[in-house]
Structure 1
Amino acid sequence: MNKGDVVVETTGLGRSYGTKQVLDDVSISLRAGEVTGFVGANGAGKTTAIRLMLGLLRGNGRTLFLGHPLHYWGAPGTVVGAVLGGVAGHPRHRLRQHLRMVAAGSAVPDRRVDEVLDTVGLTGAARLRLSELSLGMAQRVGIAQALLADPPVLVLDEPANGLDPHSIRWLRDFLRGQAALGRAVLVSSHLLSEMEQMADHVLVLTRGRVVAAAPMAQLLERVDSRRTVTVECPDLSALAGLVEANGGRLRPMGHQRATVTGLDRVRVGALALEATVPLYELREERPSLEDFYLGVAEEEFKIS
């Protein structure tokens, strides 16, 4: 399996609760060596989609893991490791003991337990009881469980929920490292800004539908294309003429202030300097990824 190979192919996922359609024709591709961010507001349908992919819910569509449905594989844990929140174990069991029981259920040797404890940085916590784990440690235990059978695919549903900044940074670096090892990683979140630092590819889900899907680099280019220049100028009519003659657009805001689109800050400043038009303020703002895709989602649903 080479980097970029499609490992998981999901097509046409759909799910209804009564007359309410909560997921509509969702398709997802996961590639080896890449982190795919699955982003949407709480209630957008991310968890439903993930559970359909894993066969934990019934609905429309199909998902192929390495070219086959998950039930084709005799030991699904060797194909996909899933972190769906929480640690399912007796609170009085010690961490190493708990992982050994999970490993036995997947025919994984005990030595693998110590390997994954080291991988997630919990070797020193191996004798803690599950009830003694912090939220961040519990998330790491979930990841350790998912890694026990060394699967080529990792799926994590909102793993950053409730974590402190230090734990979020650890998670981000860890998942990037897993992708570098060749795994295909799917991580859901309601924080698009977090995906900017983590994901190679992003899917944005709104009201059960994918409204955007693209490589992160492409998304950032689209965001950058919507940079806005703000100016304060005593002669906005003169500046407007310069801007529009060079392919931009100036929109007055009142009190000698205006926004300029279609030209960057450097170009606006150079034009004003050449024409001796004074500027009291000149700054450029880049919209956040959240703002950008909220706009994309609104446009999508206005059209539909």
Structure 2
Amino acid sequence: MLQAIGLTSTPRRDRPPAVDDLTFEAPPGAVTALVGPEGSGKTTALRLMLELEPGRGLTYFRGRPLRRIAQPAHEIGVVLGDVPGHPSRTVRGQLRMLAAGAGVPASRADEVIRAVGLGGLEGRRTGTLPRGAERRLALAAALLGEPHALLLDGPGAGLAPAERVRLHALLRAHADAGGTVLYTTRDPQDAARNADRVVALDGGRLVGEQPVADFARTRLRPRVAVRTPHAARLAAAVAQEARAARRPVEVVTEDGVLLVYGGDCAQVGDTAFRLGVPVHRLVEETGAPAAEAGGAPGPVPPTGERRGARRPVRSPLRPLRYELRRVLGVPSTALVAAAALAVSAVLAVLLGRGGTALPVALAAWPDLLPLPPAALGAGLLGALSFGEEYRYPALAAGRGAVPRRLALLLAKLAVAAVLALLLAVLAAGADLAALRLFYGPELTPVPDNWIPMAVSWLGLTVGCAWAGVLGAGVFRAAAAGVAAVLFVPVAFVPLLRQVTSGPAVRSAAGLPARLRELAGPRWSPSLDRWFTGVLEAAARPAGVALALMLTVLLCAYVLTGLRRKARW
């Protein structure tokens, strides 16, 4: 049972509330239609139920408010607007990513693909799907967690008749299995054909809540729908005969279809036969709401508690799996990595020709670039991890901002670090192979201090990736993440060099020796080399600046997340 009690939206700019004291029920095992003209508050009512709109009121899903449902995806399936997510992701990739977010097995994605009739389109990019397939994909995403209740905003809008029939068959099957279905529509005929109960809205207030048979009998008028190439001629004849017979008849035309209120198929058919007018379609149906059907608003219930503007969305139930599917499901990851490797190899060959030192050539880091290509690529991949969440929201489509929980952040940092390490190793390997191919192995000897060089190189790429993740997470854009990466070498490193170049700066050069004395025989020579390499890498201005930058971004991320949580 879905119960909405006293839903009232917050008015804006001295206007009346879009929804005012709305109370109704949607029982299980039935399809409930929320009907009303455009601007009547249907969408706002759904958003109030999902706690996405500022206002008052309560909504219970099987006796529990939304905030007390531990796993909302397993209780409520929502379709608001178009299909969320990156348009380059495939149908199967999109659903498997969302399955990880909902905490269900990846096989569930294939089940809902078959259930909604998307078989054969699994490998199709979501951005290339036709309108009908898009709506089925949105419904498939809503069904992933096997929810009890489905809330859909205008699911049949813009669909062909055959697509609407298929959609409502899916909704009917869900209701017949014991689920609750609530959908909005502007078309009373749609509600009369497909719903079991109808909740009528007008001006944000309840004007009727009744079974569909009572709705069709009391609030709709019977009419005859005629499709003919001579609609104007037939309309004039029907109206003339009705006036002669003193019968109340109203004749209108909608979308090329002649609608006759107050007549029947026999009368209209006889008139068309006498005129010799061909008729392509002639059917009796229920039409638009009668002009006299108003109805008093329902009783005003208590308004319940006041809510904030938005409810924070929970993190994915399987954040690491979600992030892996997000990264590997779009072509941008492979394109960025391939571009970074190609540019790095070309720069390495150019630097090797000029007799540049081997470490600089392997890193492909000329003076004209603020960072080597591999570090820039790692930073861009890190920035996209949050930037794409905000540009193509899939986790929180229609449900507020992207989640800013610790589990999701740790998953993004872990995946970004792995990608950065792979990119750093592949770039160094590709650069070394290119140098040996062009100049021979004698020009690429292994230096003695390769350990601190390797630590510095890996730390630089991972640090850039993390700076991109945190920068994009704080400022909600991939461009901001890239700017955070570039800020370190362009502005932070020169400033830090000026601060640390004074004569009063102390040195920690003897720290490894002092630690060796404390540890005694347990301190091995290999550990000494690695620890010395880490210290040398961290003591460099770039390492210190990157560490400070990451600390600042992490603090900003935590503070902004706590502030939003407190406000919500």
Cα distance in 2 for partners of 1:144, 1:136 equals: 12
SS at match of 2:174: helix
Contact persistence 2:24–2:209 (CA under 8 A): no
Q: TM-score, normalised by structure 2?
A: 0.41
2:2 alignment counterpart: 8
2:14 alignment counterpart: 19
Contact persistence 1:34–1:185 (CA under 8 A): yes
Cα distance in 2 for partners of 1:149, 1:111 equals: 12
Shift of 1:256: 4.8
Paired residue type of 1:179: A
SS at match of 1:71: helix
1:290 alignment counterpart: 288
Contact persistence 2:83–2:138 (CA under 8 A): yes
Shift of 1:221: 3.4
Q: 1:88 aligns with which of 61, 84, 89?
A: 84
Would you say 1:146 and 2:149 are equivalent positions? no
Cα distance in 2 for partners of 1:73, 1:166 equals: 36
Contact persistence 1:8–1:31 (CA under 8 A): yes
Paired residue type of 2:41: G
Cα distance in 1 for partners of 2:168, 2:198 equals: 15
Shift of 1:227: 6.8
Q: CA 1:181–1:254 in 2, change beyond 3 Å: closer, same or farther?
A: closer
Contact persistence 1:156–1:188 (CA under 8 A): yes
Shift of 1:291: 2.7
Paired residue type of 1:257: R
Shift of 1:258: 3.9
SS at match of 1:212: strand
Q: Tell me how many residue pairs correspond in the alignment.
A: 246
Would you say 1:47 and 2:36 are equivalent positions? no
Contact persistence 1:85–1:139 (CA under 8 A): no
Cα distance in 2 for partners of 1:134, 1:259 equals: 44
2:61 alignment counterpart: 65
Paired residue type of 1:205: L
Cα distance in 2 for partners of 1:133, 1:254 equals: 51
**Whose helix fraction is larger, Structure 1's or Structure 2's?**
2
Q: CA 1:286–1:129 in 2, change beyond 3 Å: closer, same or farther?
A: closer
Cα distance in 2 for partners of 1:256, 1:74 equals: 66
Would you say 1:172 and 2:161 are equivalent positions? no
Cα distance in 1 for partners of 2:296, 2:196 equals: 23
Shift of 1:71: 1.1
Task: Specify every segment of 5 or more residues in structure 1 that has no aligned partner in the other structure, as ranges.
Answer: 1-6, 229-252, 266-284
Q: Where do 1:104-183 residues align within 5 Å? A: 104-183=100-179
SS at match of 2:39: coil
Paired residue type of 1:169: V
Cα distance in 1 for partners of 2:192, 2:248 equals: 26
Shift of 1:290: 1.9
Cα distance in 2 for partners of 1:256, 1:32 equals: 49
Paired residue type of 2:18: V
Q: Where do 1:177-196 residues align within 5 Å? A: 177-196=173-192
Shift of 1:14: 0.7
Would you say 1:33 and 2:29 are equivalent positions? yes
Contact persistence 1:223–1:287 (CA under 8 A): no
Contact persistence 1:172–1:197 (CA under 8 A): no
**Structure ID, larger Rg:** 2
Paired residue type of 1:9: Q
Shift of 1:27: 1.1
Contact persistence 1:157–1:188 (CA under 8 A): yes
Greater relative contact order (Cα 8 A, min sep 6): structure 1 or 2? 1
Cα distance in 2 for partners of 1:66, 1:121 equals: 29
Shift of 1:74: 1.2
Paired residue type of 2:6: G
SS at match of 1:19: coil
C-alpha distance after superposition, 1:126-180 (max 9, x if no partner): 1000111111111001100100000110011001111111111111212111111
Q: TM-score, normalised by structure 1?
A: 0.75
SS at match of 2:154: coil
Cα distance in 2 for partners of 1:222, 1:87 equals: 37
Q: CA 1:254–1:110 in 2, change beyond 3 Å: closer, same or farther?
A: closer
Q: 2:216 aligns with which of 211, 214, 220?
A: 220
Cα distance in 2 for partners of 1:122, 1:206 equals: 36
Shift of 1:222: 2.7
Q: Tell me the C-alpha RMSD between the 2 structures.
A: 2.4
Shift of 1:218: 1.8
1:276 alignment counterpart: none
Task: Specify every segment of 5 or more residues in structure 2 that has no aligned partner in the other structure, as ranges.
Answer: 224-241, 250-261, 264-282, 298-568
Shift of 1:254: 5.8
Cα distance in 2 for partners of 1:99, 1:8 equals: 26
Q: CA 1:258–1:183 in 2, change beyond 3 Å: closer, same or farther?
A: same
Q: 1:99 aligns with which of 89, 95, 109?
A: 95
**Whose strand fraction is larger, Structure 1's or Structure 2's?**
1
Contact persistence 2:31–2:194 (CA under 8 A): yes
Q: 2:73 aligns with which of 66, 73, 77?
A: 77
C-alpha distance after superposition, 1:67-125 (max 9, x if no partner): 11111011111110001121111111111011111110111110101110010011210
Contact persistence 1:202–1:214 (CA under 8 A): yes
C-alpha distance after superposition, 1:231-258 (max 9, x if no partner): xxxxxxxxxxxxxxxxxxxxxx864524
